[in-house]
Amino acid sequence: MQLYLAPTTKVGDVKEAFHLEFPFLKLEFFKSKHQPGKGTPLSDKATDYTLLVEVLGVMREGDIDIIPSQSVNEVEQLFQRKFNLPVQVFRKMGNLWIETTETDNLSLEHQNEMGREASLMAPQNEQFYDEG
């Protein structure tokens, strides 16, 4: 999938496009960077109505290519390196969205499949959880 990111793009629009491609994964934007394998406090999460430029105050525009075989870590680092945007991928697990800190080395397609399998028999009230 290819996304065009501009300073005036809303966080929610990028999240929606990502979620359509990977229905059992969720992309979240944060107002502070995180280290690979570490989580970010949910209190730093940007709202869906936040403009991308408002996430950290500085951002260049352009295209980003996200390939299903890329690892979660690669995608998170790509957003950071190319656009100065701190993101984290969450995976659906039953009624929870878990931060993929322990499985950042797995591909998006693998993570999405894990989320699909884990969500087949679970109730649907959503919560967030850090697996790390």
pTM to 2 decimals? 0.83
- Section 48-77 average pLDDT: 92
Give the tens place of pLDDT for each residue, 65-120.
Answer: 999 999 999 999 999 999 989 999 999 988 888 888 888 899 999 999 999 998 87
- Long-range contacts of residues 119-126, Cβ cutoff 8 Å, at least 24 apart: 119/24, 119/92, 119/93, 119/94, 121/94, 122/93, 122/94, 122/95, 123/94, 123/95, 124/95, 125/95, 126/95, 126/96, 126/97
132 pLDDT band, cuts 50/70/90, is: very low
Q: How does the average pLDDT of the chain come out, rounded?
A: 86
pLDDT at residue 79, rounded to an integer? 94
